[in-house]
Amino acid sequence: MISLLQQHSIVASRHAQAYTRPEKPCMYRTRRRGAVARAVVTENIEKSSKIIGSSTAPFPILVNGCMGKMGRSVAESIISSGLTLVPVSFSGKEKPGGNITIGDVDVTIHGSKERETVLLSVINQFPDVMVVDYTVPDAVNANAELYCKLGVPFVMGTTGGDRELLYKTVKSSDVYAVISPQMGKQVVAFLAAMDIMAEQFPGAFSGYHLEVLESHQASKLDASGTAKSVVSSFQKLGVSYDMRRIRKIRDTTKQLQMVGVPEEYLGSHAFHFYCLTSPDDSVSFEFQHNVCGHKMYAEGTVDAAIFLYKKTATLVIAIFQLAQVIQSSGFALTRHSLVEL
């Protein structure tokens, strides 16, 4: 039986046209760069108050890390969803980044040293503001401490940092938070489904051989956490597999020719392939989930912010996982995924 790599090399060539020229490509709106200029925080906030006054959006969202690809995608999703984007942000860097234009909103980027002043100004203007964080790993804990200190509910999409300290900081405060390293709702639902299968049918794939291939942008050095989570479920299903065997594809030529990644998404994609084969090679099962760009994660983040806003009307303070956001939308997930931390 041909290997997993050979199979997907064939599939990639067979479907290259469908991948690279989709009928409705998942493309973001044209990104316009605003003029680089200094601006007073209150001036931009006043502009936003006019916007929110004429909008049906029930609350404003501040996105920290707008200079990054993920932060910008979230900001674009906020606008396209009809919500209000607060026109200020701070980055994880010491120096401010000037201004950027997202949709029809001019956002002023402030350095990390200004973050408390900036956030206090925003809270003064918008007491019900929600914060989304997509800064840098080194800023995770300091930012979370600030959000908790000022009593601002937040969605932490930034990975890294001291996660144990992060949870401890939020638990010791009176702040709502959604903390999740995976903001793709459909991916989270898939992982939950794998958990359910592993829980209800332990050992079902005993003796089967597993091959795993994952492809991400070259800047991602470690193996996919999502792939590791899926492998963990397969192990509970009876498959013997060493996580070190996960095949990481970071070479762009292989990504294009073997994996089938569209060229425009070489710098932003997450492709995963899993192949289970019976001991005698007579039976095989394949699982595949491919993501191009940031749109899915951005939409999941916005849904998390909406979920968080609704939760602030309750009396119970809690840290939530993205699975609970999905479940609130009508998805039924495993008990393990619904535990409040």
Quick one: pLDDT band at residue 141, thresholds 50, 70, 90?
very high
- Average pLDDT of the segment spanning 232-251: 95
Given the residues 113, 168, 220, 336, select the one marked as catalytic: 220
DSSP structural state of residue 255: I
pLDDT value at position 272? 96
Quick one: pLDDT band at residue 198, thresholds 50, 70, 90?
very high
* Domains identified in the chain and CATH numbers: 4-24+184-293 (3.30.360.10), 41-175 (3.40.50.720)
Quick one: pLDDT band at residue 93, thresholds 50, 70, 90?
low
pLDDT value at position 327? 56
pLDDT value at position 312? 73
Considering only 4-18, 27-41, 172-186, 207-221, which range has the smallest mean pLDDT? 27-41
As a whole number, the mean pLDDT across the chain is 78
Closest to 168 (Cα-Cα) out of 134, 150, 145: 145
pLDDT value at position 324? 54
Q: How crowded is the C-beta side of 301, counted as CA atoms within 13 Å?
A: 31
Return the higher-pLDDT residue of 19 and 215. Answer: 215
DSSP structural state of residue 34: P
Distance CA 217, CA 69 (A): 13
- Average pLDDT of the segment spanning 186-194: 91
- Average pLDDT of the segment spanning 304-315: 77
Q: How far is CA 204 from CA 70, 272, 286, 289, 307, in A?
A: 38, 22, 15, 22, 36
CB 60 within 8 A of CB 18: no
Q: Establish whether 24 is a catalytic residue.
A: no
Distance CA 219, CA 267 (A): 8
Tokens matching residue 95: 């120096």
pTM above 0.75, yes or no: no
pLDDT value at position 77? 93
Tokens matching residue 271: 């492709």
Enumerate residues 6+ apart whose C-beta is below 8 A from 241.
210, 212, 231, 234, 235
Distance CA 12, CA 50 (A): 50
State the alpha helices, DSSP H only, in the chain: 4-14, 16-20, 41-53, 69-80, 115-125, 140-150, 163-171, 185-200, 225-236, 252-254, 295-311, 322-328
CB 274 within 8 A of CB 234: yes
Q: Between the ranges 159-168, 234-243, 324-333, where is the mean pLDDT highest?
A: 234-243
Given the residues 216, 269, 272, 294, select the one marked as catalytic: 216
Q: Which residues pair with 146 in a beta bridge?
A: none
Q: Establish whether 310 is a catalytic residue.
A: no
CB 309 within 8 A of CB 325: no
Q: How far is it between the farthest Cα atoms of the chain?
A: 70
pLDDT value at position 325? 54
Return the higher-pLDDT residue of 271 and 82. Answer: 271
pLDDT value at position 95? 60
pLDDT value at position 224? 87
Summarised one tens digit per residue, pLDDT across range 36-86 is 222 233 344 444 443 333 333 468 999 999 888 899 999 999 998 889 999
- Give burial (CB, 10 Å; 0-12/13-18/19+) of 197: middle
Cβ-count burial 250-266 (b if 16+ within 10 Å, e if not): eeeeebbebbbbbeebe
